[in-house]
Every structure is written in C-alpha cells, then in structure tokens.
Structure 1
C-alpha cells in the first residue's frame, strides 16, 4: 500500500454524496480544520492518527489483537492510548498486552510478563480440544471466568466466520 492511498480514500469519502468534510471529521473524531489541512497537505503536525482512523474505518484494515481478536487498526491505536484502569478485566488485559511486546503496539514494552505471541497466519487449523484445554487452564477452576473466556472465544470465532463469508462473497462477485 502506498503512503498516500489513505489520503485518496479520505478524499473519496468526503466527495461521496451526502458527505462533507464536517461529517467525515465528526465520524473520525477530529476537528474539521485538521481534516481540511490534511487534505490540502498543509497540516503542520503528524497525521498518523488520521491515517490509522481512515485505514480502520474506511479501508477495513485490521490487526490480530491478543485480547480481543481481529479488530480495526484504529481501535488498536485507541486501546494503546488508554490509561490503566482496573474497572474491568478486559481493560487490564489490554493495558498489559499493549505494553508487553504485542507486535502491533507502538509502545515500549514496560509491563512485566512474557511477550505475547500473536498468530498472524490464518491458514492454521482451529483445534477445539487444545483451545478448550487452554481456556480451562486460564480460568483456574473459576466457572464465571471460564464463561467469560468462552464468550470471548465465541466472539472471535464469529468475527472470523463472518470475514470468511464476506471474502467468499466478494471473491465471487469480482470474477
């Protein structure tokens, strides 16, 4: 992907009927002036945050998060910027994962713990027995925790299944 592809996609989004720079800026969560300056190539600061938002929202670029599974790249970036909060377990796990060697994190590895391995190949066979054993070990006998882990696993599988259906549908329509 060329560096300016996201700018082309952004301009095309602004040019769509019923859209405007204000509407697109609101969708991306940035100011209209920042969007305007970025499109004109005169924004004095970094446009990395806009690039990630455009790639996640309009270009469907995803990453394999070790905690949440397949997520848009802009959501990954947002998770990295969140401060620590013990409000829920997922936030704690995300905070640790983003700081302990996740290959998609732009943060320095500061959390103690083993580096997290992220499988990037999708050609692997899903081994149900192995995954269930792993989830049971992780739950350590806590049935509520096991339910949470199973729900998260089901969500990941549903996401992957839907992606496969979409890719199959669109590969047929392109031929």
Structure 2
C-alpha cells in the first residue's frame, strides 16, 4: 500500500470524507472510490494533493521558492491574468520549462522569450535570491542557512553543466 493512501485513510478516520474532500478540493465520491480501490482512473492528481496537503511534499518554484506541490499544480491551471506582476511571472514560468510543470507543449513555444537572453543565458540575480531566502526564513537562521545551501547547490549544478557543455563543444 502506498504511503499517501495510508495518510489519506488516517485523515478520513480522524475527521470525515466530506472534510478531507473539501480540504483537497475533490469530491467525496472520489475519496470513497480511491479508498475502496474502485476509482476508475489513475489517482495521480489526488496523490499529489495528499502529498502536498498532509505530507509536506514541496517543490522549488522559480518564482515563489519552496511551495507545496498542490499549490504548484494550482498555479499551472490558472489562466493568464495581468492582475499583478507575480501572477504574470508564474504564468510564464509554468510555461517556460519549469521542471515541475506539466505544460511542456506550451513551454517549448515560449522558452526562448522567457528564460533566455540574447546570449542564451539568464543573468543571476544575487540580491533577489538573498532577499527571497531572508523572506522565506523570517527570523529563523537555520532555515536561512538551509535555503542558502539549496541555492548554492542549484548554482553549482548549473555551473557544472555549463562547464561540461563548454568542454563538450571544444572536443567536437
């Protein structure tokens, strides 16, 4: 049995199917069918909602930083709206090759305009990243260190990939 199903069962047992369904934004029928093994389709969407809501599974959003996986999917489903700059950045990031996006077809069409400059590289915004880490950590120094370590690891990965690409290009 999957861990997420066990977590779902415990949540239903501690409250009710109605309440859990409401929290996850799905129907009571779906919860009932999944728990009884009679759901006719793959419950991947429900699994991600349970993991995000109750199991603290997160992803690193290029716009918002670390967010629960179910929030990531909710942002992907939103239609374009220029109501505020962050919403525009989210819409573009979800369609511009974000690793967590399920919108690959659209991402390919807009990748160049959103992610790359004339040189094919995006400038690294150090001040923005430091401000983001401070904002996410609040007064928690340990959390700030964790966020900075994650960011440093991400930068190192990108740097090493660039080095590999340069060496590979020279060897041809």
The normalised TM-score by structure 2 is 0.67
Which is richer in helix? 2
1:156 is matched with: 136
Paired positions, count: 132
Change (3 A) 1:33 1:159: farther
1:24 is matched with: 20
Unaligned runs of 5+ in 2: 117-124, 146-172
Residue 154 of structure 1 and its aligned partner are, at CA, apart by 3.8
Change (3 A) 1:160 1:61: farther
Runs of 4+ aligned residues of structure 1 deviating over 6 Å after TM superposition are none
Among 7, 28, 47, which residue is 2:5 paired with? Answer: 7
Residue 157 of structure 1 and its aligned partner are, at CA, apart by 3.6
Larger RCO, structures 1/2 (Cα 8 Å, 6+ apart): 1
The normalised TM-score by structure 1 is 0.66
Rounded Cα–Cα distance in structure 2 between residues aligned with 1:115 and 1:86: 19
Q: Any idea what the Cα deviations from partners look like across 1:45-83, whole Å, max 9, x if unmatched?
A: 331221111000100000110000000000001111111
Unaligned runs of 5+ in 1: 117-129, 136-148, 166-175
Change (3 A) 1:75 1:159: farther
